[in-house]
Amino acid sequence: MNAQDRANKDLKPSSHDGKKHLPLLEPEEIISSLGSDGRRRKPQPADVKGRFHSARRILFSVLLLVLAALPFIRVGGQPVLLLNVPARQFTVLTKSFGPEDAFLAFFLLTGGAFLLALVTSLWGRVFCGFTCPQTVFLDGIYRPIERLFEGPREQRIRRDKAPLGPSGIARKTGKHLAFLLVSTWLAHSLVFLFVPMERAWTMFAAGPAAEPAIFGWALVLTLIGYFNFGYFREQLCLVVCPYGRLQGALVDDDTLVIAYDTTRGEPRGKAGSTKGDCVDCKRCVVVCPTGIDIRNGLQLDCVGCTACIDACDEVMDKLSRPKGLIRFESDRVLRGGVRKFWRPRLLIYGVLGTLGAVAATLAFSSSRDFEAHVLRQKGAPYVLEGDDVRNTFVLHLINKQAEPRDLSVCLDNPAEGMTTTLPLSLSLAAREGREMIVVFKGPIPREGHSGLQLSVYESLDCQGKPSQQLKAEFIGPRQ
């Protein structure tokens, strides 16, 4: 029997089918959401009120609003975020990026991962409890819908046990229709981050047959959302998400985790007795969305939702005892020590995370509206033509913006007697990339090589200040 089974024992039979079964595993070997017979036990968390609950509700509302508004926000006619995968064009805060900017994604991802490790080392799984999309959607939308249709925890448990009558069918149908509706909205909010809005509106007007691939994605995402938030729920955090599994490696004795103060709470006993402050009311257990008893110590199944803190604070308030029997606290303090803030791991995660964030910010802010690269053509590095030598290069120009762009490329330092196919000028359509062959022919350089400098201008006539300069080597046989 696990924590919520014990808390539920007045409401549940001794096993799923009402018969007695021998437990297959010892209780400590069973994860919180499994019954003693190995079947899934769906937690039915009770409602809770408190300071963390209020803070989470405000944060969830803001995050959901941002998600809903994101596809529609435009700055200078450009979407704030558009990940156009088929066109390999990614627009972030009006700047466009392509596959050539993959290093930016690398710095962003590694920097983000180290900063997340830093936050986890400081405050445990606060990311899971407050900002993870799984928590935001589940606790911010799906659970409130469930409560609306099926009532508070005790009613839900009773109704689940009772035979399904007409009102039960109506309630479940209403709830699942609402789940499907929200899943459809979520899926479309996600799809709109990958499909330009103009195309999305055309798609809506033309019907699913016009864009079967996009329609298919929206349908699959809707079904995944419905399955995940309607049924799978805490299982995603417990058995799928790798971040939770890393918790043991990221936290230490000085991390502030959600913890029960054993010294103050034990021995448990009824209110009014001379025992510890915990009155064994099990409120902290019945509000837990993963069904664990935090009084057993920090567990991988704790997603840091803080519901048990609010629940226990409510109880302490009623008993006129100090709040914080369950609170954010470090293991060292709970064992009577003094918390060390500075630890080597904080420094390592902090430095690596900051490096990644700074590199990504620099790369982001220095990103140009176009890309230009010059590379020697594959094959022979040079070709002798009489007394002259010919070098051939491939010039690659990419317009990363949503508008057409004029560009020209000129050679800044032609050697005496050198001929070249430069200057060249061209107009690139929105997000168009083009490759051109550029040839330099001239006397064999004395040292066997000499530097070439090419300037790229945002005009058709190599006028004004060059926007980018490219280097190339003009080579020939040593003399």
| Interface contacts to ligand SF4, rule CB under 6 A | 258, 260, 265, 278-284, 287-290, 292, 294-295, 302-308, 311-312, 315, 325-326
Q: What are phi and psi of 218, to 5 degrees?
A: -60, -40
CB nearer ligand SF4, residue 33 or residue 399: 33
**Residue 396: partners with Cβ closer than 8 Å, 6 or more residues away:** 371, 372, 373, 374, 375, 433, 434, 435
In 3-state terms, what secondary structure has residue 474? strand
Closer to ligand SF4 by Cβ: residue 328 or 364:
328
Cβ nearer to ligand SF4, comparing 325 with 374: 325
Q: Which is nearer to ligand SF4, 41 or 282 (CB)?
A: 282
| CB closer to ligand SF4 out of 156 and 282 | 282
State in angstroms the smallest separation of the CB of 353 from ligand SF4: 25
Instruction: Select 165 or 267, whichever has its Cβ closest to ligand SF4.
Output: 267
Nearer to ligand SF4, 265 or 476 (CB): 265
Whole-angstrom distance, CA of residue 184 vs CA of residue 230? 13
Tell the smallest beta-carbon distance from residue 245 to ligand SF4 (Å): 15
| DSSP category for residue 99 | G
Q: Which residues contact 122 (CB under 8 A, 6 or more apart)?
A: 255, 256, 346
Rounded Cα distance, 438 and 453, in Å: 13
Can you state the percent helix, strand and coil of the chain, rounding each to 5?
Answer: 45, 20, 35
166 half-sphere exposure, CB direction, 13 A CA radius: 0
Query: 359-371: b or e for each residue (b if 16 or more CB lie within 10 Å)?
Result: bbeebbeeeeebb
Q: How far is the CB of 23 from ligand SF4 (least distance, A)?
A: 23
Minimum CB separation of residue 202 from ligand SF4 in Å reads 44
Shortest distance, position 40 Cβ to ligand SF4, whole Å: 17
Residue 14 CB, shortest distance to ligand SF4, in Å, is 23
Beta bridge partners of 443: 388
Does an H or E element contain 7, and which?
Answer: helix 3-7
Distances (CA, A) of 179 to 64, 224, 300: 16, 12, 28
Residue 282 CB, nearest approach to ligand SF4 (Å): 5
> Rounded CA gap, 337 and 320, in Å?
27
Output the six-digit token pair for 221.
């995402």
| Residue whose CB is less far from ligand SF4, 175 or 327 | 327
Beta strands in 33-180 (DSSP E): 74-75, 78-79, 81-84, 89-92, 95-97
Minimum Å gap between C-beta 161 and ligand SF4 is 24
Cβ nearer to ligand SF4, comparing 147 with 390: 147
Decide whether 74 or 318 has the Cβ nearer to ligand SF4.
318
Is residue 398 within 8 A of residue 430, CB to CB? The reply is no
Q: Which is nearer to ligand SF4, 122 or 454 (CB)?
A: 122
Minimum Å gap between C-beta 298 and ligand SF4 is 9
Query: What span, in angstroms and rounded, lies between the C-alpha atoms of 63 and 140?
Result: 10
The CA angle 177-179-180, to the nearest 5 degrees, is 65
C-alpha distances (whole Å) from 189 to each of 82, 93, 184, 200, 351 are 12, 18, 9, 11, 35
Instruction: Give min distance, CB of 227 to ligand SF4, in A.
Output: 22
Tell the smallest beta-carbon distance from residue 113 to ligand SF4 (Å). 23
CA distance 116 to 118: 5
